[in-house]
Amino acid sequence: MARKINYISRIKDTFDIVISGVNGVFMRGNRADGEAIDALIKMYQSGKKVALASNSGMRVQDMYYALKKKDVPMNIFCAMITAGEIAHYYLKSHPQIGHTYYNLAGGPSAVARGLNFRQADSVVMADFIMAETSGEGVDENSMSAVLEQALHLRLPMLCVGNNTSVMTENGVLPSVGACAERYAMMGGEIIPFGKPDVRIAAYLTENTPNFDKKRCLVIGDCMTTDMRMGNAYGAQNLLLTGGVHQLNGDVERQIDDLSGSYGLSVDYYTEKLQW
C-alpha cells in the first residue's frame, strides 16, 4: 500500500539516487515550480545523485538550455535523457524508415534536426509520422483525418514520449501518446520512445558505484510512464498526485484503484515535491 509523505526529506535516507521527471514534477509547461526545484537542490546537497528522465520531444542540449533559462541549476544533475534524444539516434541509425516525415504538431521536428530528413506539407507525401511531446498538449480530435490518411498509407508513427496527457500552464491536456493510442487502436504501427522503457533507468544509473536498485527513487506524476518504469526497474517510486492524474479526496483509494487497473505498485505519494 502506498504511503503518504508531505516532505521528501523524510525518506531521503532510503535512497542514493533519484530519477526525476521534468514536466509535472518541477515544470508545468513553461512555468517552473521553485519549491520543487529547491527540493532537488537539497537532495543534491545532501549527497544524493539526481538524474533527469523526460518524455519531451526536445533534444538533451535544447532541454538543458531551456531549463537553465528558467534558473534551474543544471550542475546538480549527474545525467539526463529525453525521449527526443533517443528518437534522434533511432533516426540516425535507421535510415530505412524513409527520408520524409509529417509532423503532427506542425513546424520542423526537433528530433530530425541535423539529419537527412525532409518535412512533408501533406501526410500523403510522407514516409512516416512524427509525434513529439511538448509542454502545450495536442488537440487529438483535430488529427483524426490525418490519422486515417496515415493508416490508409500504412505509415508508422514515431511516438516521441508516451504520455497520453501532460501538465501545462492551462491544466492537464491530451498529449501525443493519446494520438498514438488512437492510431494503434485503428491498426496503425507505433514506434515508441521514452518512459516507461526500463533502459532509460539503466542508462541513468550505470555510473553509480555499488548500485542497489532498491535504493533508487523514481519521481513522477504519471502511472503509465514514471511508475511503470520504476516498477519494471525494481526501484522505489514517488507519485505526485497533483500532476496529470489530478487526484483529490480519498487519494489513497484512488491510487489503489489506479494501481490495480495498471498492475503497478506505488511506494510513496504526495501532492507536490517539497523538501
Give the pLDDT of residue 221: 96
Of 87, 13, 32, 25, the C-alpha closest to 52 is 25
85-193 has CATH 3.30.230.70 classification: no
- Nearest CA among 33, 30, 31, 57 for reference residue 219: 33
Question: Do the domains 3-55+196-270 and 85-193 sit in the same CATH topology, yes or no?
Answer: yes
- What residues contact residue 222 under an 8 Å CB cut-off, 6+ apart? 21, 24, 163, 165, 195, 243, 244, 245
What is the structure's pLDDT at 126?
97
Strands (E) in the chain, as ranges, are 3-4, 17-20, 27-28, 31-32, 49-54, 77-82, 100-103, 118-119, 128-132, 157-160, 165-168, 171-174, 190-193, 216-220, 236-240, 268-270
Query: What is the pLDDT, as a whole number, of residue 152?
Result: 97
Residue 48: name the closest of 7, 10, 13 by CA.
Answer: 13
What is the number of helices (H) and of strands (E) in the chain?
A: 8, 16
**Residue 15 contacts residue 216 (beta carbons within 8 Å):** yes
- 3-55+196-270 is a CATH 3.40.50.1000 domain: yes
- What is the pLDDT at residue 255? 95
Q: What is the pLDDT of residue 166?
A: 85
pLDDT 10s per residue in the chain (275 long)? 899 999 999 999 999 999 999 999 999 888 999 999 999 999 999 999 999 999 999 999 999 999 999 999 999 999 999 999 999 999 999 989 999 999 998 889 999 999 999 999 999 999 999 999 887 777 777 888 999 999 999 999 999 999 998 888 888 888 999 999 999 999 999 999 999 999 999 999 998 888 999 999 999 999 999 999 999 999 999 999 999 999 989 999 999 999 999 999 999 999 999 99
pLDDT at 258: 94
* CA angle, residues 260, 195, 166, in degrees to nearest 5: 80
CA 219 to chain centre: 11
Task: Name residue, grid cell 540516425.
Answer: 92
CA 52 to chain centre: 10
What count of other Cβ atoms lies within 10 Å of the Cβ of residue 109? Answer: 24
Nine-digit cell string for 262 = 495498471
* Domain boundaries along the sequence of the chain: 3-55+196-270, 85-193
Alpha carbons 232 and 234: distance in angstroms, whole number: 6
Helix (H, G, I), strand (E, B) or coil at 227: helix
With 0.85 as the threshold, say if the pTM is over it. yes
Tell me the three cell numbers of residue 105: 504538431
